[in-house]
Structure 1
Amino acid sequence: MKILLTTIFAYPHEGGLSTHMTTLKKGLEERGHSVDVLSFSSFSRAYRTAYARLPGYLVNKWKKGRGQLWNDSQRQRLLFRQLQRIRHRYDVVNAQDIYAALAAVTAGVPTVATVHGYYAYEAVSRGAIAEHSPEARQVEKLEQEAYIRANQLVAVDRRIQQYIRRVADVEAVVIKNFIDVDSFCPSSLSDSSKVRRAFKLPENAPILFVPRRLTEKNGVIYPLLALPEVLRRHPDAMLVYAGTGEQQERIEEEMRKRGLRAHVRLLGSVPHEQMKQLYGIATVVLVPSVHSHGVEEATSISALEAMGSGAPVIAGAVGGLKEIFEHGVDGILVKDRDVDGLAAAIIRLLDDRAYGRKLAANARKKVENHYSHRVAAERFEAVYITARQRHLSSRFKQEKRGTMGSVE
């Protein structure tokens, strides 16, 4: 098949959605399909700024959230115009957000919408749109429309599947997130000393690695709040963040307030290839997600990458993370916003490295068996076939109604 992956966001970019697209593309191509990507980055920088970013920024100054809607709607129009030109080249379009899905169905192409999260709630959670505002209600309506109009829906965990059913009364196939199991594996990791020098990290310090965007739902403040207790037991521990986001200012403020600068590294945005190296030197990986404005973590790609790389993981017991991990068998789950529980879990893994290695070995086996990009690509292939059949059936019915109307 000729498949187009599309999104209104930049590609590649920081975050799980971009990683999902890259890994899915590889899996589909390994199965013999031809895969292209259409994203906001497909257009020139000047055009992107003049058409969407600058007007959206100015409108947002006038009313918070209104500019976000403008920006996203303009991006949708860009994708729609391009899809109109190239739709004949593709058998199916797999949209990665609600605006890309609406662009594809409006352009008249077979459309699969992959639902990575709770779109309207997440806009509120990251502060882009005010809660209960007209803008929030408008995004909710657009979300519902996208789910209803798409030929087929994929949810990345069962809670999102239930959410889709609740807001749009339609069914989605669950295909949990996945990783490239060949790329993220213990045997491919670089020399530890070299990686530590490259990132200016102490040679022998235990590394507590947080591979997350610095946004509220990812719970990134809680490892920092737990760090003082960890340092009492392990005074050389180093907390390392790889990501950017609106929570960075709060993290930096807490670092200063608590005198933790010497024990924290904020690496900013790290290229995906280099993330593999950081997983490789991690003593413990932290994915401390929390509930935030109705948002729950899906099947976290960061968690799966850590599981594949041979590092033990401590995760928040929310959303899809509870579906990934069996507590005490292949990872440790801690309660939402439980600073003491998080500190205790970290200390346990630093005290008992053999226990951490056992968790990591079990996690690697689970990833190979259930979260491989090859398994996921095969399942997406079946979804694409169904979407094409539904699209053709719908078009045939429309044409038949039109013919009958003209006869009458």
Structure 2
Amino acid sequence: MKILHILDHSLPLQSGYAFRSRNILRSQKGAGLEPVALTSPKHEASWKRPSPAVERIDGIAVHRSGSVAGGNGVIGEGAVVWRLRSRIRTLIERERPAVIHAHSPVLNALAALVEARRARIPLVYEIRAFWEDAAADLGTYGSSSAKYRLVRALETAVCRRADRVVTICEGLRRDLLGRGIEDAKVAVVPNAVNPSEFSLPEASAGENGRFRQPGAGTVAFIGSFYHYEGLDLLIEACARLVARHPELRLLLVGGGPMEARLRVLAERRGATGSVVFTGRIPHAEVAQAYAAADLLVYPRKSMRLTELVTPLKPLEAMALGKPVAASGVGGHRELIRHGETGILFPPDDIPGLASAISTLLSSKSLRERIGRQGRDWVLRERTWDRNGALYRALYSRCIS
């Protein structure tokens, strides 16, 4: 069964979106499907260098759409949809897919919907987040703006017309059901990991590497520095804990829009000696950063985006057997059972966050138990082998 995937962008661009796309394609190939992919012109806009018309990534053909003129406004978005339609039509004629699987944002789904209906091929639309919510959080446009309402209405209309809709979590699924989308039409294929890719280096690599000081109690966050991640709250909490836990060291691995303000906050709180900013690191060094951590903390703030969407990073930490503490937003509650597979604390609550960190730092046996139970849950419920089978069953129902 051949599946044509329509993606915003893909590797070699590195992002959470690109890595999920890669894992989807690989898991489907492992499940006996034949995935083929097409990226939108936004791939070229972000890659900013020439791309071949087709690349093979993990043995799977990934076709490119080429760049378009028109900028980021309505004209540019129209050009993206027009170019995608043309490329989708060409690939339908060449590849003869059984299903077209479009992935958010909604521009991809619009182009795919027109061509799928023209060719009488089932359309699956996968929503990884509501992009209007992400845009509102980044300040691209407001949640009460006309564009926000337009994008939301467009997404709802596409979901009504698609043959099946996939979300990455129950929060997104419930939101779509609240818009009147049929219950039987919406499936969840959650974020997942490949256990074979998650192993820690030898202890010495973490102990003596640049990510850890011998004997330190290392609290870490590994990811992108966006406002909603709550890293300002994490710095404040750790600054309060240094007197009680003088060995505490906060390791912030990554970068993003909040980095400059976080550095200023650490300096203002007199925490520059205990807060370490590594900057963005090569993917090959991420395992060493995890190995250096005694626990991982995810202090996401409560807002529509975080209440609806489950993140990937806590799953990575859990897969490695690392204990996690996370705010009790809806996205985290889908992943973590308090006291069993992690520690939950109230969102936007600095004392609660500090208490959770202190509890885990004070008990090695608790860290080991939570880390072990979290890993067992991930290996049982959140692997890409399992997801490949979910997609295969979904497509079979879609065709029948």
Would the TM-score normalized by the shorter structure come out above 0.5?
A: yes
Give, as a single letter, the amino acid of the residue that structure 2 aligns with 1:99: L
- Please name the residue that 1:31 is paired with: 31
Q: Deviations over 1:106-133 (max 9, x none)?
A: 2225322222223222210121222311
Take 1:181 and 1:106, find their aligned partners in 2: how far apart are those partners? 38
Q: Is the 8 A contact 2:44 2:66 kept in 1?
A: no
| Structure 1 stretch displaced more, 120-129 or 38-47 | 38-47
Q: Is the 8 A contact 1:300 1:321 kept in 2?
A: yes
Correspondent of 1:51 among 36, 43, 68: 68
Percent of aligned pairs with the same amino acid: 23
- The 1:168/1:279 distance shift into structure 2, 3 A limit, reads farther
Q: Which runs of 5+ in 2 are unaligned?
A: 51-64
Q: Is the 8 A contact 1:212 1:220 kept in 2?
A: no
Take 1:18 and 1:75, find their aligned partners in 2: how far apart are those partners? 19
1:178 aligns with 2:188: no
- The 1:359/1:294 distance shift into structure 2, 3 A limit, reads closer
Give the structure with the larger helix fraction. 1
Q: Deviations over 1:190-223 (max 9, x none)?
A: 1344346554542432222212321222223221
Take 1:297 and 1:287, find their aligned partners in 2: how far apart are those partners? 15
TM-score for both structures, normalised by structure 1: 0.83
Give, as a single letter, the amino acid of the residue that structure 2 aligns with 1:104: A
Q: Is the 8 A contact 2:212 2:292 kept in 1?
A: no
Give, as a single letter, the amino acid of the residue that structure 2 aligns with 1:320: G
| Structure 1 stretch displaced more, 365-374 or 33-42 | 33-42
Q: Structure 2 matches for 1:131-210, cutoff 5 A?
A: 131-171=143-183, 172-184=186-198, 188-195=199-206, 199=210, 201-210=212-221
1:82 aligns with 2:87: yes
Give, as a single letter, the amino acid of the residue that structure 1 aligns with 2:43: S
Q: Is the 8 A contact 2:190 2:382 kept in 1?
A: yes
| Deviation (angstroms), 1:2 | 2.1
Give the match's secondary structure for 1:311. coil
Give the match's secondary structure for 2:223. coil
Q: Structure 2 matches for 1:9-408, cutoff 5 A?
A: 9-39=9-39, 40-41=42-43, 45=48, 51=68, 55-56=71-72, 67=73, 73-88=78-93, 89=95, 90-97=97-104, 98-108=106-116, 109-171=121-183, 172-184=186-198, 188-195=199-206, 199=210, 201-293=212-304, 295-296=306-307, 298-389=309-400
Take 2:195 and 2:365, find their aligned partners in 1: how far apart are those partners? 23
Take 1:13 and 1:209, find their aligned partners in 2: how far apart are those partners? 25
| Deviation (angstroms), 1:257 | 1.5
Give, as a single letter, the amino acid of the residue that structure 1 aligns with 2:21: M
| Deviation (angstroms), 1:356 | 0.5
| Deviation (angstroms), 1:104 | 1.4
| Deviation (angstroms), 1:289 | 1.7
- The 1:27/1:102 distance shift into structure 2, 3 A limit, reads same
Q: Is the 8 A contact 2:306 2:331 kept in 1?
A: no
| Deviation (angstroms), 1:76 | 3.7
Q: Is the 8 A contact 1:175 1:379 kept in 2?
A: yes
- The 1:283/1:70 distance shift into structure 2, 3 A limit, reads farther
Q: Tell me how large the CA RMSD over aligned residues is.
A: 2.6
Q: Deviations over 1:213-243 (max 9, x none)?
A: 2122222322112111221222232222233
Give, as a single letter, the amino acid of the residue that structure 2 aligns with 1:92: V
| Structure 1 stretch displaced more, 98-107 or 8-17 | 8-17
| Deviation (angstroms), 1:360 | 0.7
- The 1:7/1:354 distance shift into structure 2, 3 A limit, reads same
| Deviation (angstroms), 1:71 | 5.4
Give the match's secondary structure for 1:299. coil
| Deviation (angstroms), 1:28 | 1.6
| Deviation (angstroms), 1:50 | 6.6
| Deviation (angstroms), 1:81 | 2.6
Q: Which runs of 5+ in 1 are unaligned?
A: 57-66, 390-408
TM-score for both structures, normalised by structure 2: 0.85
| Deviation (angstroms), 1:378 | 0.4
Q: Is the 8 A contact 2:218 2:249 kept in 1?
A: yes
| Deviation (angstroms), 1:293 | 4.8
Take 2:18 and 2:157, find their aligned partners in 1: how far apart are those partners? 24
Take 1:312 and 1:71, find their aligned partners in 2: how far apart are those partners? 45
Take 1:351 and 1:49, find their aligned partners in 2: how far apart are those partners? 54
